[in-house]
Copies of this chain bind each other. A is one copy, B any other.
Amino acid sequence: MASRRRVRRGLGRAMAVARAVAVGSLLALAAVSPSMPGLAAPLKTPRAAPALSAQPLAQPLPSWREGPTKARILAFIASVSREGDAAYVPPAERIAVFDNDGTLWSEQPMYVQLAFAIERARALVAQQPELAANPVLAAAAAAGNGEAVLTMGTKGLLELVTITHAGMSTEVFRDLVREWLDGACHPTWKRPYTALTYQPMRELLDHMRANGFRTYIVSGGGVEFMRVFAEEVYGVPPEQVIGSTVGTQFSRRAGRPVILRKPELQVVNDQAIKPVMIEQVIGRRPIAAFGNSDGDFEMLEWTTSQPGSRLGVIIHHDDPEREVAYDSPSAFGRLDRALREAPRRGWSVVSMRDDWSQVFAAPAAPGDSAGAGGANRCAGGTGQLPEQPAVVPGEMPRVEEAPAGRQP
């Protein structure tokens, strides 16, 4: 996985294999350091976020410590939103883009979407034992908490995601992800994954929207995977989520139209592909970009290399006490060039240790049954679902549909 930086450009199926080294971006697994005190439960606030514009926060970004980073972010938001200011930007162009893994939630020790893929592999092999003939599925199905998967190599990971996420309609896929997220727990933290998001970034999303920004997620995660939770957790609606895609195909089942997911990667939304997808989907250049790894370099470069007041922000994971400390040597979310070039490019570097008074989302208020339930549900669990998510008959991935050359 250390070589994912080598991959730089190109769309098209022909390049999918070459870009396989970036597959990590398709997956996600929120993790926290076992020493972290005060764990969190999910908040159900995003739907209410727009109301903030009517009554501005008396003290925006309460989980951000006072200092130059917070001051710069707040000053930027205020100036581009203030009519008459030299930096003023009309609301239609107030677009901010956020990476997800490592920027809005944790990506250590591996991506959440990879945990989902492992779980899917288990369910598939349990129901279709002959699928164990595929060594990638067999390895994933046998792996306890995914460690074995990490050793199967990039090609194996790519195939794992491709096979386990394909062969079903987009609607069935969303239901599977939702069902899995509702039941799954982080293996060491014993919390729902959606409870392990960064509270300061959620406050920032809210504050920017309250000031007329539209907030987009632009991540290497699968677009359909992220859409399942992005609206509830971050207040980001489906049409403002840009991610990696698989090929899909319009079809009809029992006379009704469906869109089927095919076992082939279409876009790996990482590195130089991020600005390409921003241009293709949004058609406007953002004025603010937030990332945490070299995979976000080109997105920040694209955002900040135009005239006017622009904001580029790098989240630096330097807090081993409350989360994980990593940058250049990391298998997931390697941060090297972007950190080195941040000063001369004018990008702010957020120290999670120094700039954030709280890392993970706040505990749910008493009486928030969803939050409390989420926490209780995982308190004694192993991180595995007691029951496999339902697989709809006739919607099973067929391994023989994998493109030639992908079979081990």
**Is A344 part of the binding interface, using a Cβ–Cβ cutoff of 8 Å?**
no
Closest to A304 in B: B257
> Which residues of chain A from 10 to 57 have any CB-CB distance to chain B below 8 Å in the complex?
10-14
Closest to A237 in B: B92
Q: B223 to A249, Cβ gap below 8 A?
A: no
1/0 per residue A148-170: CB within 8 Å of B?
00000000000000000000001
Report, as a range, how many residues of chain A touch the other chain. 35 or more
- Stretch from A60-68, A281-289, A355-363 that touches the partner: A281-289
Contacts of A92 in B (CB 8 A): 237
**Which of B247, B259, B275 contacts A12 (CB under 8 A)?**
B247
With A227-B283, A249-B276 as given contacts, are A14 and B13 in contact (CB-CB < 8 Å)? yes
Q: A279 to B259, Cβ gap below 8 A?
A: yes
**Which of B256, B266, B305 contacts A305 (CB under 8 A)?**
B256
**Is A298 part of the binding interface, using a Cβ–Cβ cutoff of 8 Å?**
yes
Contacts of A281 in B (CB 8 A): 239, 281
A307 to chain B, nearest CB (A): 11
**Is A204 part of the binding interface, using a Cβ–Cβ cutoff of 8 Å?**
no
> Which residues of chain A from 300 to 315 have any CB-CB distance to chain B below 8 Å in the complex?
301-302, 305
Q: A223 to B283, Cβ gap below 8 A?
A: yes
Closest to A248 in B: B276
In Å, the complex CA distance between A283 and B238 comes to: 5
Q: B9 to A249, Cβ gap below 8 A?
A: yes
In Å, the complex CA distance between A337 and B245 comes to: 31
> Which residues of chain A from 237 to 296 have any CB-CB distance to chain B below 8 Å in the complex?
237-239, 241, 245, 247-250, 256-257, 259, 266, 272-273, 275-276, 279-284
- Could you list 20 examples of A-B contacts with CB < 8 Å? A9-B249, A11-B247, A11-B266, A12-B13, A12-B247, A12-B266, A223-B283, A238-B283, A238-B284, A239-B282, A239-B283, A248-B280, A249-B276, A250-B273, A250-B276, A250-B298, A250-B302, A256-B305, A257-B305, A259-B275
- Please name the 3 residue pairs, one residue from A and one from B, whose CB atoms are nearest each other, closest first: A238-B283, A250-B272, A239-B282
Binding site for B on A (CB under 8 A): 9-14, 92, 170, 223-224, 227, 237-239, 241, 245, 247-250, 256-257, 259, 266, 272-273, 275-276, 279-284, 298, 301-302, 305
